[in-house]
Amino acid sequence: MSEWENPDAVLAYTRTQFIDPGGRPLDIEDPGFPLHWSRAADRWRYVVGAEHWVNAVLGVIRRSALMRTRLLPSYRGGDYVLLGELCLLGRFVEVPEVLFLRRLHPEASSQMGSDAGRWLKLMTGRSGRSRFPEWQRVRDHLSTVARSELQWREKVPMLGALAGRTWLRRERLVSEVAGAFYAMLRTP
């Protein structure tokens, strides 16, 4: 039996080749999410600590596993939360062939940066402003740990990993609060 026919895998995805608007290959490496480790907590810590492309979310996901998640949250970075939930349910398998071409262009969601208004419009079709995507991501990761069926002896190191990740991203978290406070002060 080949690796991708593994019955405990919940997600399978292929390697990605990034291309420019004209279809020319770009020299960008995607480390992927080869979450083949047997311990769910190890897989989850990798997802929480990842700061790279999330192409794996575009792979093939077992419906039974996907239905046990809260699905894709509608804020920037929500794909990490979905992958975090999925990796607690089973392993991820990376097909070594490049079968996915991802075009990078100025209007691509990955190129929006921190424009929360554009993100909200893309994800929900509504205009407005999502002010706390970093905080929502931390909250949802906490919820994932709390809801998981893992034992507390496995959850405690996961919470430590999340605390470490949160500390590393503290400037973004503070910036969200400061931005909301500043917007409140400007509102008559």
pLDDT in tens, 65-79: 999 999 999 888 999
For the chain, give the mean pLDDT.
Answer: 87
Domain ranges of the chain: 3-186
Q: How far is the C-alpha of 147 from the C-alpha of 115, rounded, in Å?
A: 31
Please say if the pLDDT value at position 119 is more than 70.
Answer: no
CB 73 within 8 Å of CB 82: yes
Q: How far is the C-alpha of 117 from the C-alpha of 100, rounded, in Å?
A: 28
Please say if the pLDDT value at position 95 is more than 70.
Answer: yes
Q: How far is the C-alpha of 187 from the C-alpha of 181, rounded, in Å?
A: 10
The model carries a pTM of: 0.84
Residue with more model confidence, 150 or 109: 150
Q: How far is the C-alpha of 111 from the C-alpha of 105, rounded, in Å?
A: 7
What are the counts of helices (DSSP H) followed by strands (DSSP E) for the chain?
7, 3
Please say if the pLDDT value at position 179 is more than 60.
Answer: yes
Residue with more model confidence, 32 or 1: 32
Q: Which of 143, 175, 179, 152 is nearest to 48 (CA)?
A: 143
